C-alpha cells in the first residue's frame, strides 16, 4: 500500500503516505464547486509531472557529478471540458546559473523527458516543457 485517502466532506480529501506519514490535503478548484483552499487532484497531477522530471534529472545529475541544486519549476495546468480533463500542462524549469556544458544540458534534458509520470500521461494531453539554462 502506498497511501490512504480519506474524504473529509465539502469536497476535501486527506491523503496520508503510509511509509512516512506525510499528509497532502486536496480541495476541488473554485471552477468546480470547491473553495480552492488546497491543491486540487488535477493540480497534483500536473505538479507531479514537474516533480518527477526534476527528480529524474537529479538522479542523472548525481550519477554524472552535475550540480543542479537550486533548480525550480513553475507549473500551469489548463483544463478542458466535455469531458472535464487536463488538456495542457506547461512546465518551466529554471536551472541555476552554473555554466552547464552542452553535453550536461543534453543529459539533463533527456532525463527530464524520460520521467515515469510523463510516460504515464495520455498522449492527447499536451505537454509544453521549457528548460531555461
Average pLDDT over residues 34-47: 96
End-to-end CA distance of the chain: 39
Q: Is 7 helix (H, G, I), strand (E, B) or coil?
A: strand
The percent of residues in the chain predicted with pLDDT above 70, rounded, is 100
Nearest partner of 118 among 57, 41, 67, judged by Cα:
57
Query: What confidence category does residue 118 fall into, taking pLDDT thresholds of 50, 70 and 90?
Result: very high
Mean pLDDT confidence for 101-105? 98
To the nearest whole number, what is the mean pLDDT of the chain? 97
Q: pLDDT band for position 54 (50/70/90)?
A: very high
pTM for the whole structure: 0.94
Amino acid at each position: 500500500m502506498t497511501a490512504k485517502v480519506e474524504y473529509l466532506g465539502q469536497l476535501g480529501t486527506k491523503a496520508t503516505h503510509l511509509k512516512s506519514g506525510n499528509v497532502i490535503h486536496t480541495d476541488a478548484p473554485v471552477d468546480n464547486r470547491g473553495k480552492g483552499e488546497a491543491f486540487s487532484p488535477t493540480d497534483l497531477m500536473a505538479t507531479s509531472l514537474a516533480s518527477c522530471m526534476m527528480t529524474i534529472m537529479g538522479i542523472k545529475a548525481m550519477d554524472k557529478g552535475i550540480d543542479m541544486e537550486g533548480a525550480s519549476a513553475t507549473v500551469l495546468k489548463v483544463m478542458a471540458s466535455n469531458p472535464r480533463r487536463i488538456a495542457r500542462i506547461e512546465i518551466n524549469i529554471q536551472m541555476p546559473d552554473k555554466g552547464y556544458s552542452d553535453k550536461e544540458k543534453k543529459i539533463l534534458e533527456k532525463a527530464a523527458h524520460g520521467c515515469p509520470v510523463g510516460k504515464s500521461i495520455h498522449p492527447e494531453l499536451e505537454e509544453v516543457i521549457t528548460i531555461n539554462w
